[in-house]
Amino acid sequence: MPDTALQIERHGAVEVLWINRPAQLNALNGEVILGLTAEIKRIRHDDAVRAFVITGAPRPDGRPCFSAGDDLKEAAAGNAPPGNPGSVLTNLIDDCLKPSIAVIDGICTTGALEIALACDLRVVADTAQISDWHLARLGSGLGGWGASTRLARLVGVAQAKDLILTGKVIDGAEAQRIGLAQRVFPSADLWSEAMAIASTIAGMNPTGVRMTMAHLARVEDLSKEESLSFARQLREWMAPSRTLEETTSGVLDAHRGRPADHDGRTGS
Residue 31 pLDDT exceeds 70: yes
Residue-wise pLDDT tens digits, 12-22? 999 999 999 99
Q: What is the pTM of this model?
A: 0.88
Residue 86 pLDDT exceeds 60: yes
pLDDT at position 236 is 87
pLDDT at position 266 is 34
Q: For the residues 213-242, what does the mean pLDDT come to?
A: 87
Residue 79 pLDDT exceeds 70: yes
108 bridge partner residues:
67, 130
Q: For the residues 51-80, what does the mean pLDDT come to?
A: 95
| Between 257 and 67, the higher pLDDT residue | 67
pLDDT at position 244 is 45
pLDDT at position 267 is 38
Residue 247 pLDDT exceeds 80: no
pLDDT at position 263 is 43
Rounding to the nearest 10 degrees, give the CA dihedral for residues 126, 27, 102, 163.
60
pLDDT at position 241 is 57
Quick one: pLDDT band at residue 237, thresholds 50, 70, 90? confident
pLDDT at position 268 is 29
Collect contacts of 205-210 with beta carbons under 8 A, ≥24 apart.
205/262, 205/263, 205/264, 206/47, 206/50, 206/262, 206/263, 207/238, 207/239, 207/242, 207/263, 208/239, 208/264, 209/50, 209/97, 209/98, 209/99, 210/97, 210/98, 210/238
Residue 48 pLDDT exceeds 50: yes
Residue-wise pLDDT tens digits, 124-151? 999 999 999 999 999 999 999 999 999 9
Residue 256 pLDDT exceeds 90: no
| Between 240 and 180, the higher pLDDT residue | 180
Which strands, in side-by-side order, build the sheet including 51-56? Answer: 6-11, 14-19, 51-56, 100-104, 121-125, 183-185
Q: To the nearest whole number, what is the mean pLDDT of the chain?
A: 90
Residue 248 pLDDT exceeds 70: no
Least confident of 83-87, 156-160, 232-236: 232-236
- Angstrom distance (rounded) from CA 156 to CA 150: 10
- Angstrom distance (rounded) from CA 16 to CA 155: 26
Least confident of 81-85, 100-104, 193-197: 81-85
Residue 260 pLDDT exceeds 80: no
